């Protein structure tokens, strides 16, 4: 194939990340977004939505460890989980590693993402064909949470795109309020917090965090190193009705699960909540 590159702007007209395309696997305009899947020699198969890298075979473990395990190490008794988005299956795969979790509801708006990942990324999407506790709903996560009964979930994981396109509504006070209501009295919400190095990114983080702070009594932010996202560093928000992610960490209990994780451990857990001053300033 000719020298073909996927590139993603991190700062418009100024900074780009480029991955060489070894093979074009799938391109589709779905009813919601532009879905592309390619193969790169270094990162393996990767998926982009509306031109932004969502997942690569090589570094997805970082993101999926960090969206899931910190909450389970703070409340090791979590039984009912709701995933919003997460069409590649990586988040569901990690949640499913806990045998004591009873149900995993997952609401993905775009069925085309699930189908493409089943075909080209079995390392994440394999979970869809082998996990009986997983209840996959193709539908609108915003509406689902709005209609969910009070106190239905121990944990909600928002595995969405950025706050533009189909993911936009997942960064609103109204959505966070519905999550609060749908969570049990010791419920935890993990959500996208983007990154903070470039000014426009910092603005997005600030907006997301200021809204979540209005709704949850405890709202913290934690970061992790993921090479294919802007600046190589990304953040999640940890919002909770009761637990503080540092003082309520149950390190020994979590270690007893005996999971072999490639990124997460309980030292990383504590360290991830230590933020650089330029990040603290926007929160
Ligand atoms: N979800 C999207 C993370 C944000 C990507 N944004 C970006 N590259 N600008 C990832 C889905 C993994 N299950």
How do residues 148-203 score in pLDDT, each as one tens digit?
999 999 999 999 998 888 888 999 999 999 999 999 999 999 999 999 999 999 99
Give the mutation target among 161, 201, 224 for probing the ligand 1 site: most ligand atoms within 8 A of CB: 161
| pLDDT of 232 above 80 | yes
- Residue 248 CA, ligand 1 centroid: distance in Å: 28
Closest-lying ligand 1 atom to the alpha carbon of residue 159: 1
Q: What is the rounded average pLDDT of the residues 210-229? A: 97
Cβ atoms of 234 and 223 closer than 8 Å = yes
Cβ atoms of 150 and 182 closer than 8 Å = yes
CA distance 119 to 123: 10
CA 183 to chain centre: 18
| pLDDT of 2 above 80 | no
The response to whether residue 88 sits with its C-beta less than 6 Å from ligand 1 reads yes
3-state secondary structure of 266: helix
CA distance 122 to 128: 9
pLDDT of residue 165: 83
Give the mutation target among 66, 114, 126, 162 for probing the ligand 1 site: most ligand atoms within 8 A of CB: 162
Residues 6+ apart with CB under 8 A from 28: 34, 35, 36, 112, 116
pLDDT of residue 166: 86
The response to whether residue 228 sits with its C-beta less than 6 Å from ligand 1 reads no
Give the mutation target among 54, 227, 228 for probing the ligand 1 site: most ligand atoms within 8 A of CB: 54
Q: Does domain 60-246+260-280 have CATH number 3.40.50.150?
A: yes
pLDDT of residue 64: 98
- Residue 46 CA, ligand 1 centroid: distance in Å: 11
Angle at 82 between CA 80 and CA 84, to 5 degrees: 175
DSSP H/E element including 87: none
pLDDT of residue 145: 98
The response to whether residue 53 sits with its C-beta less than 6 Å from ligand 1 reads yes
The response to whether residue 86 sits with its C-beta less than 6 Å from ligand 1 reads yes
Query: Where in the chain are the domains?
Result: 5-56, 60-246+260-280
pLDDT of residue 1: 60
Q: What are phi and psi of 132, to 5 degrees?
A: -65, -25
The response to whether residue 166 sits with its C-beta less than 6 Å from ligand 1 reads no
- Residue 80 CA, ligand 1 centroid: distance in Å: 24
Cβ atoms of 79 and 101 closer than 8 Å = yes
Annotation marks residue 159 as catalytic: yes
| pLDDT of 147 above 80 | yes
Q: Does domain 5-56 have CATH number 2.30.140.10?
A: yes
The response to whether residue 159 sits with its C-beta less than 6 Å from ligand 1 reads yes
For 24-77, what is each residue's pLDDT tens digit? 999 999 999 999 999 999 999 999 999 999 999 999 999 999 999 999 999 999
pLDDT of residue 164: 84
For 81-120, what is each residue's pLDDT tens digit? 999 999 999 999 999 999 999 999 999 999 999 999 999 9
The response to whether residue 222 sits with its C-beta less than 6 Å from ligand 1 reads no
Determine which one of 65, 159, 162, 201 is catalytic: 159
């Amino acid at each position: 194939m000719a020298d073909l590159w996927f590139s993603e702007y991190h700062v418009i007209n100024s900074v780009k990340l480029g991955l060489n395309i070894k093979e074009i696997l799938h391109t589709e305009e779905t009813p919601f977004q532009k879905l592309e899947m390619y193969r790169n020699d270094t990162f393996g198969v990767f998926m982009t939505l509306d031109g932004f890298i969502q997942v690569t075979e090589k570094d997805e473990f970082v993101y999926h460890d960090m969206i899931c395990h910190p909450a389970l190490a703070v409340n090791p008794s979590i039984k009912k989980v709701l995933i919003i988005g997460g069409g590649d299956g990586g988040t569901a795969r990690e949640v499913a590693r806990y045998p004591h979790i009873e149900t995993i509801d997952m609401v993905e708006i775009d069925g085309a993402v699930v189908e493409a990942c089943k075909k080209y990324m079995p390392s994440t999407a394999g979970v869809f064909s082998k996990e009986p506790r997983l209840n996959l709903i193709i539908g609108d996560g915003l509406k689902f949470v709005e209609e969910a009964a009070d106190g239905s979930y121990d944990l909600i994981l928002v595995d969405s795109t950025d706050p533009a396109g189909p993911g936009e509504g997942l960064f609103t006070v109204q959505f966070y309020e519905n999550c609060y209501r749908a969570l049990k009295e010791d419920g935890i919400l993990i959500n996208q917090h983007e990154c903070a190095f470039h000014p426009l990114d910092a603005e997005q983080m600030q907006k997301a965090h200021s809204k979540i702070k209005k709704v949850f009594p405890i709202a913290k932010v934690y970061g992790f190193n993921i090479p294919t996202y802007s600046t190589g560093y990304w953040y999640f928000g940890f919002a909770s009705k009761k637990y503080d992610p540092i003082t309520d960490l149950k390190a020994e209990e979590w270690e007893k699960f005996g999971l072999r994780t490639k990124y997460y451990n309980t030292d990383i857990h504590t360290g991830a909540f230590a933020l650089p001053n330029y990040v603290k300033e926007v929160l």
